Structure 1
Amino acid sequence: MGKILSLDIGGTKILGALFDEKGEILKREKKSSKSNKGIEKVKNQIKKVIDILIEGETDIEAIGCGVPGIIKEGKILFTPNIPLSGFSLKEFLEENYKVDVYVGNDANVALYGEYNTESISKYDNIVGFFIGTGFGGGIIIDRKIYKGSIGASAEIGHITVNPDGPYCGCGSRGCVESFASKVAIQKSLSNQIRKGRDSSIKEYILDDSIIKSSILLKAYEENDELVVEIMDEVAKYIGIVSANIMNIFNPQIIILGGGLIESFSDKLLDTINEYSKKYSLKQNYESTEFKIASLGDDACIFGAYQMAKNRVD
């Protein structure tokens, strides 16, 4: 087997890695996705990442990709945070690079990456939450990724947790993503600061960029009143949606990952547990374990590698 290139294409960044024949990372590259500048700019950013990674390489065997949204046969049917809805990423990459390409929903791909780690591979039924710019979900049932009839399963971020809540990027209202994601946190902080609330991170909020998780964490650890209040609400809604998932799927484990969780680690777990216990059946709560993702922000690139290696899409 030759080298495999993997991509994690998100609303704010494109992360790529080149894996050798033994599954070790040879090179990494990261660029802004520039989602606000349209589809052609995003396509150019994807190509830039790939071209840097494959420069001087001649034995690239396959490319694996994780992308947010509904994916079917390599085509992005819908994605709320990147201007790629209706775009066949598989066709685009195969035409440009002449290798087999495997494309999956980023959260499913990330969960597949976690599933292939030693500590998780023993479980049969797993649900993953991957919380960063958005709120992605993945489901493994009986050791297989569950995709649904058109590849639209596990859109956990778009479970309604408050029908009177804010509008979501998907067009609906009160989705958990509209409460528990970096986009949602940014909006909440901005709204409160504009109403006169004070915060140590005010300077980071009043511009157009999405706040970094590390800045949020620092303010949280310093007991910034507004940040603590909003992050407690984030954890509450993660707990509520966890309870829903427990009652529907009764998984053995819920994995919490993504950039936001990677920064905060288990600091939100007490509140998540409190609300998941409150709103789930006792037996379901007691039979489900929470675990912080071990691969951190690399889960999707490792999952994309495994997907391409195992010819899974």
Structure 2
Amino acid sequence: MFDWVQAIADFLTYTALDLSAESKLGSAINFFIFDTVKILILLLLIIYMITFIRSYFPPERTRKILSNNKGNRLIGHILSAMLGIVTPFCSCSAVPLFIGFVEAGIPLGVTFSFLIAAPMVNEIALGLLYGMFGWWIALIYILSGEIIAIVGGIVIGKMKMEKFVEPYVYEMQNTSNIEIASPLMKERIHDAWIFTKDLIKRIWIYVIIGIAIGGFIHGWIPAGTLAQYAGKENPFAVPVAVLIGIPLYSNAAGVIPLVGELTRAGVSMGTALSFMMAVTALSFPEAVLLKQVLKPKLLIFFFGIVGIGIMFTGYLFNFLL
């Protein structure tokens, strides 16, 4: 789908700018151009599609689907985490969906179950892991990712941290029905576009900043660095891998080939998967975007819960394997 974007990035980087593909600067700039165009296109398409589809589903109906009562709250977390599996979006692309969930009045903890699962677990990564490492690794991966998403969402929900969501999100909740609930197709299309354009204007600069930082790290920190500091002999390899993975940026499918290379370079499976989960679920671009809808305390709390869950999974993998 994005081969043409890669071709443009390659032309601009290696032909127009005459940079070497092996150079750090060339790698970083190529990454920045490709991912900036790709992410902005994804954001535009995803926000628009979700906004348009949501015009057919009033917030009250959505709240019922994902459970708005105590008796079904656990089901809501499970459904939300499972929905994350079948939405193969990166962490940045999942953020607009998260905003839409909050706007629809879905409980905050349930929305976080989705936000954690969407970038961390998807069917593409599952298939790649199965093909590269077998069904046992794939099964532990999907179960651990879903458990982290469900438990993380439950904990955040129990903490009653709704006050740490930026007020404008709830203001959008109060007006979203009016903006996109028109019964006429022409008006649905127009209103969905207006909503999408306004949201893109609010977040585009933070996408650019986040990808620029990720591109810098992508170009200047080679994979061998991780193997050097996160080898099997280091008892702190898992947290080191998580800390190194946080500033990077990719989706699960994109980073899995790197997991294979790292295991061949001497990094244990649990450590390599912890790195992958940190890259996909705790990326810096995601933090930059979430900062626009979450106050610092909730953002730090979210990263802390997910980070602990990922490290637990890494040590569990290393123990079992």
Query: Normalization by structure 1: what TM-score?
Result: 0.28
Larger relative helix fraction: 2
Query: Normalization by structure 2: what TM-score?
Result: 0.28
